[in-house]
Amino acid sequence: MKNYDRYSVGYFPPATPHNEWVKKDHVEKAPTWCSVDLRDGNQALIVPMSLEEKVEFFQYLVKLGFKEIEVGFPAASETEYHFLRKLVDDNLIPDDVTIQVLTQSRKHIIKKTFDSLVGVKKAVVHLYNSTSLAQREQVFRKEKPEIIKIATDGAHLLKEYAAKYPETDFSFEYSPESFTGTEVDFAAEICNAVIDIWEPTPENKVIINLPSTVEMSMPHVYASQIEYMCEQLHNRENVIVSLHPHNDRGTAVAAAELGLLAGGDRIEGTLFGNGERTGNVDIVTLAMNLFAHGVDPELNFSNMPEVVEKYEQYTDMKVPPRQPYSGKLVFAAFSGSHQDAISKGMRWHKEKGLRTWSVPYLLIDPKDVGREYEADVIRINSQSGKGGVAYILEQNFGYSIPLQMREEIGYMVKDLSDKEHKELSPAEVYQAFAREYVNVFDPIDITDATFMKASDYKSNDGMIAKIKVRINDEEYEFEAVGNGRLDAISNALKMTPYTFDYKFVTYSEHALSAESSSKAAAYVCIEDSDGNQFWGVGQHEDIILASVNALVSALNRQNKKDHFVE
């Protein structure tokens, strides 16, 4: 690929190693979450949200558990100003939720920002200015002291205006925008200049937000930058270090997680990573990664289908089908070996009554995010195997397919999917199974069967069967004795003028559901003199008649290969 040599390293790692964070193996507690869906997320949309949509989205973010929500840049847009005023005037901000607003370090913008907040109980005022080498040289054409003055002038103004509104509990946040393209020593210098003006206390901490406005480095470099900053910031115990990763390199989630290990306390991001260019960090994935490590994420994504639905409704964006935790296909297994392992794992957990999750190929239990095993986990197409098909039939329709039968059914269903070139729904899988195996009554149909104990038999299992049978549209009645019901039925059939070539291989039965009035299923396998095996499945309210139907079905399936002859 041409022109790769145009790109050089544009980021600034610390001069000395800062990698204590590598000694930690996972994030041990949830960060403070701040949703920026209504700001970064909204400005990334082709058609921004209407006022009504923003209000609904705000209320949904509250429902999910967000305690800090950035509502916009009220001094820069009349729409965002009116949105903020509606939240305040209609008393839509819960007491335990803090709204956040963004402002540049310019006096008239800061004044209008505070005017927009009149009547708010709690608010974070987020001050920012660009600090990167590229911005300083190309956009502002200013030296470092001039850039610092922009930040400190704004910091003084925030204190000045906040004092005019004592009824509001203000917190201050500062971002050296384009932090990842800023020399880390300069980033520390400008942040400390702001911290010294704001004089944070345990009761009124300051937020220092360190955004990867453009993601330039591998995640471990960002983590080292965060660790360096945490060491250099003044009054660190009263400073909340916030991370605002973007996704230009596709590693925002990894960068955020490593940044938390390195000392970050807070995350600014969006649902599903919606944001400018390739987006912001995906809070859903971050929170669910914590969940998957046994850490309470302090956000509620237990109804993930609803979260996806609401997000798509408000933003007109789509969640990809393989998006972690939330995509429609994220739990779907089409591979036969995967399906077999999953179905066995599910059965193991059920048998052992285990609460701790460890099912093969499934990081978390899909039910914990509102997904269903039947519809979302085992999906059937031409790549599927015996385990997946058996799982679908058991979970959806109650058929516990014998192990010896599963491979045959699996190939039958795979062949159907391959020929139709599509995924098969559970209903289509069942229809194919029932059509081929269940209660197959042509050309043989036993229309009536009664049984009685054989008194001259020494065995307690001796039975006499009286049957009415139709074969090739001819009606017959026979009576025969056997060492059990199926044996008696089989002996009666062999009294017909037709030649039957088979022996029993295996038989099993079970109820299709727990109710006493439910139907029963029976499975019969027979084998001819050439070693060919034929399965039949019977279904009936009476388990005995279900077994009769299973034998008849097996015989009729045999007849497809080798027609009965008189």
Nearest to 209 by CA among 21, 94, 19, 39: 39
Buried b (16+ CB within 10 A) or exposed e, 132-155: bbebbeeeeeeeeeebbebbbebb
174: Cα separation from own chain's centroid: 34
pLDDT for 391: 84
Is 280 annotated to bind a ligand? Reply is yes
What was the pLDDT predicted at 534? 96
Q: Is the peptide bond before 443 cis (omega within 30 degrees of 0)?
A: yes
What pLDDT, on the 0 to 100 scale, is given for residue 375?
Answer: 67
Q: pLDDT for 299-351, tens place per residue?
A: 999 999 999 999 999 999 999 999 999 999 999 877 778 878 888 898 899 89
Partnered with residue 452 across adjacent β-strands are 464
Beta bridge partners of 250: none
Structure tokens at 326: 């939330």
* The predicted structure's pLDDT at residue 109: 95
- The pairing of strands 474-482 and 520-527 is unpaired
Q: Is 238 annotated as a binding residue?
A: no
The pTM (predicted TM-score) of the whole model is 0.82
Greatest distance between any 2 Cα atoms in the chain: 112
Lateral strand order in the sheet of 444-453? 444-453, 463-471, 474-482
What digits encode the pLDDT tens for the residues 380-391? Answer: 776 776 778 888
Tokens of 68: 């800090």
In this structure, what are the phi and psi dihedrals at residue 174, rounded to the nearest 5 degrees?
A: -125, 135
Closest CA to 554 of 513, 506, 520: 506
Instruction: List, as one string, the DSSP characters of 490-504.
Output: HHHHTTSSS----EE
For residues 191 and 143, is the Cβ–Cβ distance under 8 A? no
* Side chain identity at residue 381, one-letter code: N
Give me the DSSP letters along 197-253. Answer: HH---SSS-EEEEEEESS--S-HHHHHHHHHHHHHHSTTGGGEEEEEEEB-TTS-HH
For residue 358, give every residue at least 6 positions away whose Cβ sits within 8 Å of its Cβ, in sequence order, or none.
345, 349
User: What structural domains and CATH numbers belong to the chain?
Assistant: 4-315 (3.20.20.70), 336-436 (no CATH), 444-561 (3.30.160.270)
Amino acid identity of 104? Q
pLDDT at 458: 52
Q: What's 444's DSSP letter? A: E
Which ranges of 374-467 does DSSP label H, i.e. alpha helix? 386-397, 403-420, 426-437
Indicate if the alpha-carbon torsion angle 172, 144, 184, 197 is positive or negative. negative
Cβ atoms of 405 and 535 within 8 Å: the answer is: yes
Residue 390: per-residue pLDDT:
87
283: buried, middle or exposed (CB in 10 Å: 19+, 13-18, 0-12)? buried
pLDDT value for 517 = 57
What residues have CB less than 8 Å from 533, skipping those under 6 apart? 505, 525, 526, 527
Contacts of 115 (CB under 8 A, 6+ apart): none
What is the DSSP pairing of strand 206-212 with strand 169-177? parallel
Q: Which residues contact 488 (CB under 8 A, 6 or more apart)?
A: 451, 463, 464, 465, 480, 481, 482
| Token pair belonging to 120 | 């708010």
244 marked as binding residue: yes
Q: Which residues of the chain have pLDDT under 70?
A: 374-376, 382, 385, 455-461, 514-517, 561-566
Q: Is 82 annotated as ligand-binding?
A: no
Q: Which of 46, 59, 80 is nearest to 318 (CA)?
A: 46
Per the structure block, which two tokens stand in for 84? Answer: 């903020």
Q: Tokens 């027979």 appear where?
A: 526
Provide the 8-state DSSP code for 476: E
Q: Which amino acid, 142?
A: K
The predicted pLDDT at position 350 comes to: 87
pLDDT score for 516: 47
